[in-house]
Amino acid sequence: MNRENNSLLVLLIVNIFTDFSVLATGIQLNGSAIQSSQYYNCSADKALNGEKIMYNETLPTCTCSVTQLKQFPRWWEMDFGSRHLIGSINVTGRSGEGGSLQSTNLTAFLSNNTMETNKSTVVYSSMEKTVGLYVTLEPPRVAQYINIKKEDNIEVMTICEVEVFESNCEIGYFGDKCLRRCHCKSQCDVLTGNCNECEPGWGPPTCETVCSHGFYGPNCRKDCSHNCENNTCNPQNGSCVHGCKPGYDYTLSTNCSADCSKGNYGQNCSKECSHNCENDYCNPQNGSCVHGCKPGYDYTMNTNCSDECKDGFYDDCKTPCGQCKQTPCNKTDGHCTGGCVEGYTRNECDQAIVDDHSEQNGFSYGAVAGSVIAALCVVAAIVVVIFFFYRKRTRKLQTKESSKTYENAAFNTPRKTVSHASRHISVKTSENT
């Protein structure tokens, strides 16, 4: 009776641990198994059949995996078919007096390659008198194979059931021991780290690498502003880490999309445009006067209009000063501050003075010339009128003469006819007499 009670107690303990592991770590994994040798029909797959050990089991009912007697080394191996994140391993051994020694001194190994006789990562070694293995892996480990070895001189190794449970990493982590960080918008694959969309500042596929130089945003799809100093921006939000290039105002836009305000230029828009610039406006990058210089300053000498016109010139620095008594003239408007040399007037001294006598002579000469021209015009008009009447009279006389000639011709012809007839009549009369 006591013997049966002890067996029942062992079974209860095994089941309690098994149920706890399922709740704590997740889905139970399936796979295939091989072992170093085989006792009768106690093959490796018997440890994966879901049947728990029965007290004082007898052949040929074998429900456990058992190695051949006195065959060393002794090992049992499970292949999941692919890598998984392992959270716990439960190995149920044989119970009962004498038989329990076949399931003590077990060591568990993990690997991504078959181990068989080779050893890999040790995850647990049981105490000398512990039957089976109960392993919780914290943190979880990535593996495709587990290998159970017996490390003593007992003639046989018996494993009745092996249960392996999958686990998950904390959100944002993946890989062996969950050491690698993935910056995904949702949980990444716990094995590869791959995810659909990275958080801003991180690049695919695992979202564990910061955006490369010149890029930012989700999946590093956006280009940093070309106005950023050194073309470097914050990989999350695109703000320019080292400020803006000259001509752009960081205080107005952290991604340096805003030009300097009118009247300012340079790094951080900290410099003022020259007051000699036309319209007080300059290039926001280099301070050159966009619309040229105000009068009195030479753009060809300096594009920020800091140089005055050369002596002797004013306004656009191409207009020469007038006849100033004192040089130079005012370079803005050409005004001669010391007055003009003799013979010139106006503020710019650019107009010669003409005296009164010359003006009178000029007036007299002009009057005479005007009179002569007027007289000539009158004479010409008279000549034209005379010529017109002469031509008209000549044409009239010619017309009259032509008419008279015609009349004479018409009158003379009948007279001759009458005369001839008269003569004829006269002859006739004489003869009759």
pLDDT at 321 over 80: yes
State residue 356's pLDDT score. Answer: 55
d(CA 195, CA 190): 10
pLDDT at 227 over 90: yes
Q: Which of 307, 84, 260 is nearest to 174 (CA)?
A: 84
The pairs formed by 397-403 with CB atoms below 8 angstroms and a separation of 24 or more are none
**DSSP-assigned beta bridge partners for residue 93:** none
Q: Average pLDDT of 150-167?
A: 91
d(CA 392, CA 68): 161
| Residue 321 exposed, middle or buried by CB count within 10 Å (0-12, 13-18, 19+) | buried
The reply to whether the predicted model has a pTM over 0.75 is: no
Q: Average pLDDT of 335-361?
A: 80
State residue 395's pLDDT score. Answer: 67
Q: Average pLDDT of 385-409?
A: 62
Domains of the chain plus CATH, in order, are 2-168 (2.60.120.260), 322-356 (no CATH)
Q: Which of 247, 210, 209 is nearest to 226 (CA)?
A: 247
SS3 159: strand
d(CA 101, CA 241): 67
Specify the residue for token string 């594009």: 303
The model's pLDDT over 8-61, given as tens digits with 9 standing for 90+, comes to 222 223 333 333 333 334 789 999 999 999 998 899 999 998 887 655 556 667
Q: Average pLDDT of 218-230?
A: 93
State residue 388's pLDDT score. Answer: 74
Q: What is the DSSP string of 234-274?
A: -TTT--BTT-BPTTB-TTT-TTS-SBPPTTEESGGG-EEPP
